[in-house]
């Protein structure tokens, strides 16, 4: 879809600086945008991408330093809201689910590979491509343009939404959902929340295994990516635009917030919480129930909330456990000081 830049600017009440005589081909994140794309900049953490972005137009706050002459600027008070208003108005996806039959059904346009085993109550709709040796069990629902690689196994009640991509030898256990909408909303001036269309996809690379009741949200733009060899335990939440590096393992009840990037060969224990828009280095171990609130740039073990280097966290934990004893010692010292002060006073008299 092409959108005139002047119309998009008018929609959000923006002021154009630069060439306004072109049409927007697409919208994209600032680090992924290509020529003809519109992007936006609202967090300081993403300013590092401004000098290298290939976008043709960008939504910025007033008084933003316009140091590039090859890009058109649209000044708005809130680039984040303006971007999502343009997304909703011009680029919202249209879903057509009318071709899905509630009983077992394979759409004539679906491509089914060799040695495929299909159980009861399966729905495979238009545009699905199922590779060789795929086993699809009870109540699995696949929508448009899903690609599943060779030798993959999807157990009962797995849902894979439109346009998601699975590599070879992927194992997905019952109840897992791939490609659900990311948790994206923005509030207007009256405090009313509006849904931000989630038009990205999920890419799961080869040799990944996902436990039961895992949720991997589709990207708002671009892709949520689970790289080769990743293993996720039951009840793990992966938010939109997260990237999990190769051969990383994550235990149950861990939650990863949007746009976090986790490195290769990491080990994340149970009930860990990771905030959005941060990066975690390769070869990091996060101990159970840790809370990661900022980037981790060095390999090693981390623990606590907020997470700290493991040895430091253990020392702090030991001091916390000893606080009652410390309080008693401080009280004793205070009494001893008071007694000494009284003796000194008597001697001085």
CA distance 344 to 342: 5
**Taken in order 65, 70, 71, 75, is the CA torsion positive or negative?**
positive
Question: Residue ranges of the chain with pLDDT lower than 70?
Answer: 93-105, 116-123, 125-126, 128-139, 141-144
- Nearest one of 27, 26, 29 to 261, comparing CA atoms: 29
Task: Identify whether 240 is a catalytic site residue.
Answer: yes
Contacts of 7 (CB under 8 A, 6+ apart): none
- Nearest one of 103, 127, 119 to 153, comparing CA atoms: 119
CA distance 131 to 134: 6
Active-site residue, from 89, 107, 173, 240: 240
Give the CATH number of domain 105-311; options: 2.160.10.10, 3.40.50.10210, 2.60.40.10, 3.90.25.10. Answer: 2.160.10.10
- CA–CA distance from 151 to each of 124, 249, 284 (Å)? 18, 21, 31
CA distance 161 to 288: 31
Give the CATH number of domain 3-91; options: 3.40.47.10, 3.40.1390.10, 3.30.2310.20, 3.20.20.80. Answer: 3.40.1390.10
Contacts of 27 (CB under 8 A, 6+ apart): 37, 38, 39, 83, 86, 87, 91, 221
Contacts of 156 (CB under 8 A, 6+ apart): 137, 138, 139, 140, 174, 175
CA distance 18 to 30: 18
Phi, psi of 348 (to 5 degrees): -70, -20
Q: Residue 327, SS3?
A: helix
Instruction: State pTM to two decimals.
Output: 0.81
């Amino acid at each position: 879809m092409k959108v005139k830049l002047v119309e998009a600017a008018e929609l959000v009440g923006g002021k154009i600086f630069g060439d306004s005589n072109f049409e927007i081909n697409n919208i994209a994140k600032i680090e992924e945008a290509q020529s003809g794309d519109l992007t936006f900049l609202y967090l300081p953490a993403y300013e590092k991408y401004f000098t290298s972005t290939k976008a043709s137009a960008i939504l910025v706050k007033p008084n933003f330093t316009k140091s590039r002459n090859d890009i058109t600027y649209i000044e708005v008070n809130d680039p984040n809201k303006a971007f999502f208003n343009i997304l909703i108005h011009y680029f919202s996806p249209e879903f057509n689910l009318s071709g899905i039959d509630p009983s077992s059904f394979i759409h004539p346009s679906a491509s089914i590979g060799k040695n495929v085993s299909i159980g009861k109550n399966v729905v495979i709709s238009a545009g699905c491509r199922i590779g060789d040796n795929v086993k699809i069990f009870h109540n699995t629902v696949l929508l448009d343009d899903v690609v599943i690689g060779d030798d993959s196994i999807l157990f009962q009640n797995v849902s894979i939404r439109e346009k998601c991509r699975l590599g070879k030898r992927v194992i997905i256990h019952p109840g897992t959902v791939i490609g659900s909408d990311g948790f994206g909303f923005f509030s207007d001036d009256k405090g009313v929340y509006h849904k931000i269309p989630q038009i990205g996809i999920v890419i799961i690379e080869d040799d990944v295994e996902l436990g039961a009741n895992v949720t991997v949200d589709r990207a708002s733009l671009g892709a949520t990516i689970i790289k080769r060899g990743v293993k996720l335990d039951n009840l793990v939440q992966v938010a939109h635009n997260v990237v999990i590096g190769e051969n990383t393992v994550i235990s149950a009840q861990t939650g990863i917030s949007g746009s976090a990037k986790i490195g290769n060969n990491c080990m994340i224990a149970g009930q860990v919480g990771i905030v959005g828009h941060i990066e975690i280095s390769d070869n990091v171990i996060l101990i159970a129930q840790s809370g990661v609130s900022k980037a981790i740039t060095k390999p090693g073990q981390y623990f606590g909330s907020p997470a700290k280097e493991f040895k430091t966290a253990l020392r702090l934990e030991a001091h916390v456990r000893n606080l009652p004893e410390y309080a008693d010692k401080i009280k004793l010292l205070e009494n001893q000081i008071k007694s000494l002060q009284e003796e000194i006073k008597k001697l001085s008299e």
